[in-house]
């Protein structure tokens, strides 16, 4: 048990109400209750704008920030103390007054193939329908498997699985982490290596956000921070931030700690997969964000800025 002179008597976690978001909030609540048994922890479930608009792709309605805005409002208004997010849903630039106090240990960062018919992407026949909500996934699929039909897929994990089971798709691509956290790992037919589908920035990691002036909460949350994951995610976000990464950009970034250093891979692509600009960089952990920015500049030097400019038109 940890003691803190500023330990509040109660703590409220803001969370989206999807099954996965609630699992994440409950996971953090359990960790906090274990660390601070004298503190009452509760969850404020909320429906965000991103959860309400399901018939339009995220890239057309404002991006992943739609999943966090209402949670930040609850913290600003004092209805909640912290919010738990999938790091891949957190915009590269937080609103003024907010901070990421902790980034938890990463679950499996890979994309996963889910299908009732096929065991691998290579086994999918000409004209097979593959569902994904991600321009990042779409661009990589189109580049490697131009014979497939890539169709948009929105909704929570259960909704996406239902659409697959109804026969609307031959396969769908989801984050392995979400499936495993929900106890649905048996639905995974193949975990896609980074060489085949480079993960999204922050994929598989949980972030805990609070107001930056809440030093008491930042100290309280410190034990939940995983240094390896945090350094990797900082490098990935440094790259994405420099590139102006959002849902409108087919962009991937994945860092690992290897031999005590950060190894970061990244890419920017045309949505149709006709051009992919990729690169990698290795450097010191205490320079994580700078490392990411440097890789971004290397991609820009190869022409990523031209792709980004065309996408913003």
| Tokens coding 237 | 């976000």
To the nearest 10 degrees (0 to 180), the angle between helices 157-165 and 19-35 is 140
Of 68, 108, 97, the closest CA to residue 84 belongs to 68
- Matching residue, tokens 């639905």: 187
Please calculate the CA angle 213-215-221 and round it to the nearest 5 degrees.
120
Please calculate the CA angle 310-312-313 and round it to the nearest 5 degrees.
70
User: Using CA atoms, how far apart are residues 45 and 95, in angstroms rounded to an integer?
Assistant: 21
- Matching residue, tokens 């970034």: 253
Of 133, 152, 150, the closest CA to residue 141 belongs to 150
Burial 283-295 (b: 16+ CB within 10 A, else e): bebebbbebbbbb
Total number of residues shown for the chain: 313
The 10 Å Cβ neighbour count of residue 2 is 12
> Kind of pairing, strands 82-86 and 206-211?
antiparallel
Candidates 51, 89, 108, 231; catalytic one = 89
Q: Tell me, yes or no, if 89 is annotated catalytic.
A: yes
- Rounded to 5 degrees, φ, ψ at 115 are -155, 150
Q: 97 in the Ramachandran plot: left (φ > 0), alpha (ψ -120 to 50) or beta? A: left
Please calculate the CA angle 46-47-53 and round it to the nearest 5 degrees.
165
The residues annotated with a catalytic role in the active site are: 89
């Amino acid at each position: 048990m940890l003691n803190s002179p500023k330990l509040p008597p109660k703590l409220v976690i803001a969370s989206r109400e999807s099954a996965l978001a609630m699992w994440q909030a409950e996971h953090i609540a359990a960790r906090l209750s274990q660390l601070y048994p004298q503190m009452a922890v509760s969850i404020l479930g909320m429906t965000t704008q991103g959860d309400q608009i399901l018939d339009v792709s995220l890239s057309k309605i404002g991006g992943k920030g739609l999943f966090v805005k209402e949670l930040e409002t609850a913290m600003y208004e004092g209805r909640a103390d912290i919010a738990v997010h999938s790091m891949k849903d957190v915009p590269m630039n937080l609103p003024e007054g907010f901070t990421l106090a902790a980034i938890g240990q990463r679950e499996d960062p890979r994309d996963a193939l889910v299908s009732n018919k096929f065991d691998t992407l290579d086994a999918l026949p000409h004209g097979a329908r593959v569902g994904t909500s991600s321009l990042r996934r779409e661009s990589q699929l189109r580049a490697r498997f131009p014979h497939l039909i890539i169709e948009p897929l929105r909704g929570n994990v259960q909704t996406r699985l239902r659409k697959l089971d109804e026969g609307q798709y031959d396969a769908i691509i989801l984050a392995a982490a979400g499936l495993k956290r929900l106890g649905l790992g048996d639905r995974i037919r193949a975990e896609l290596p980074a060489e085949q589908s480079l993960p999204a920035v922050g994929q598989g990691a949980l972030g805990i956000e609070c107001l930056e002036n809440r030093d008491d909460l930042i100290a309280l949350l410190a034990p939940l921070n995983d240094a390896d994951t945090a350094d990797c995610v900082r490098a990935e976000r440094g790259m994405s931030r420099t590139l102006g990464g959002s849902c409108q950009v087919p962009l991937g970034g994945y860092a690992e700690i290897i031999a005590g250093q950060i190894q970061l891979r990244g890419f920017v692509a045309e949505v149709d997969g006709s051009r992919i600009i990729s690169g990698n960089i290795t450097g010191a952990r205490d320079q994580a964000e700078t490392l990411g920015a440097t890789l971004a500049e290397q991609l820009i030097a190869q022409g990523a800025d031209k792709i980004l400019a065309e996408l913003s038109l």
